[in-house]
Chain A
Amino acid sequence: MRYEVNADLYEGPLPLLVELAKANLIDVFLIKLVGLTNQYLLRVKAAGIDLNQLAEPLPLLGSLIAIKARGLLPQAPVTDEDEEVPVSLEELERRLKEYEQFKTVAQLLAELHALQHQHFGRQPGAPVDLGPEPELAGTPFEVSLADLMGAFGKVLSKATAPVYEVKAEPWTVEMKVQELRVLLTVRHQVRFLELFTPQQTKLELVVTFLALLELMRQRVARAVQERHFGDIVIQAIEPATNQ
């Protein structure tokens, strides 16, 4: 079904009207768009037309409105920003001449380039490049693994870079925390000085102390004193007393 419209000046199918307006064969300003849109709304409200047919005129009406809207806006003077403004004949000639000149000197440069490449200066690092390795004399044969090991042994014996040994840490705070937990579970209270022995390295002493602090922080242990200047005793905090 064709969508027919009825405007003051025009009566007929809408697509044709739009085409005419686009081609400027009909003055859109003489067409009342209100009339057209009202007609459309009336048809939408009227039952019996399926959706497809209702949708069809929409873009057409839209473009008609767009054409008219564009006509209402003041036209910006048509200037091409990319200097495509009419180029005078002289200007074109000048540009062509200029380009020709560059073309000529480019050829000169090419000749200079070719000429200069007949001269060789010292190549950066080139003297080192002696070409491919000379071919081996005689028939090559397989080398035994022992020979290969021996050859590598020589390489190793010549190695001069010092070797550093990195030891794994023998004690960690986590390990000591675990140890102290076990100790406190078994004995409930330990003298502070018992935790340390003079034979231990400084590192171990420090780690043990850190572990003790950690346990106190976690409220697993506490440090008490019987009297001033008395021995410090580490006690396990029982979960019951904790609450």
Chain B
Amino acid sequence: MEQADVKQVIEAVLLVFGQPVALKRLTELMPDVEAVQLRATIQSLNTEYESAGRAFQIQEVAGGYQLVTKQELAPWVRKALQSPKADSVSAATMETLAIIAYRQPITKAEIEAIRGVDVTASLDTLLERKFARIAGRKDSPGRPFLYGTTPEFLRHFGLKSIEALPPMATPTIPEPVAAAPAQATSEPEPAPAASDGS
């Protein structure tokens, strides 16, 4: 397959898809082209668009690639689409979403423990907008639902994957501090004995 062909196939596929197209899908489409080459081609396409002053770019998002318009054109596109303003997410809902994103899978009770308020409404909003989904059930009394984020979330936040989330300021202490001393006094004792034996 000629380089030009690969370029055009990628461009054509991305043009017609509304959703991000996974690299895997592109490799299935062109089995004789290496994934590395596909990535490189996508990059060179972006460079081409940029230097030619095109209105769009290829974005890597939600585990795939999608063709999107450039940021500067947002006011015009928005007007054309007759969507007066970007749909906003309330600060409270965003907090709930952040907790789910960084702590998934997580139960509602655990989210509420962090936020200190009832999160029913914001959780409903997130489920409705498909930013969050039920990811399973926790194996604890009552078998509560566990919540996680969706590809839709990644897409709407321009994230390649969940690993691409901005890092938290400091790593959180996994266990409550109060419980730590009790363990510290009880556990070290058998440890030296074991080391003596060996």
Contact = CB atoms under 8 A, between A and B. Distances in A.
Interface residues of B, number: 51
Interface residues of A, number: 33
B42 interface: no
A101 B172 contact: yes
B70 interface: yes
Q: What is the predominant secondary structure among interface residues of chain A facing chain B?
A: helix
A189 to B, nearest CB: 78
A109 B69 contact: no
A114 B16 CA distance: 25
A121 B81 CA distance: 12
Contacts of A112: 157-159, 166
Interface of A: 87-88, 90-91, 94-95, 98-99, 101-110, 112-124, 126, 131
Instruction: Name the 6 nearest CB pairs between A and B, nearest first.
Output: A116-B158, A119-B68, A106-B98, A117-B86, A118-B74, A118-B71
Nearest to B72: A118
A131 B80 CA distance: 9
Given A88-B178, A91-B176, A103-B95, A98 B157 contact: no
B107 interface: no
Given A118-B71, A120-B77, A122-B67, A110 B94 contact: yes
B102 interface: yes
Contacts of A91: 176-178
B177 A90 contact: yes
Nearest to B157: A112
B158 A119 contact: yes
Contact of A119 (B18, B74, B88): B74
Given A90-B177, A103-B95, 6 more contacts: A104-B169, A116-B61, A118-B74, A119-B158, A121-B19, A126-B81
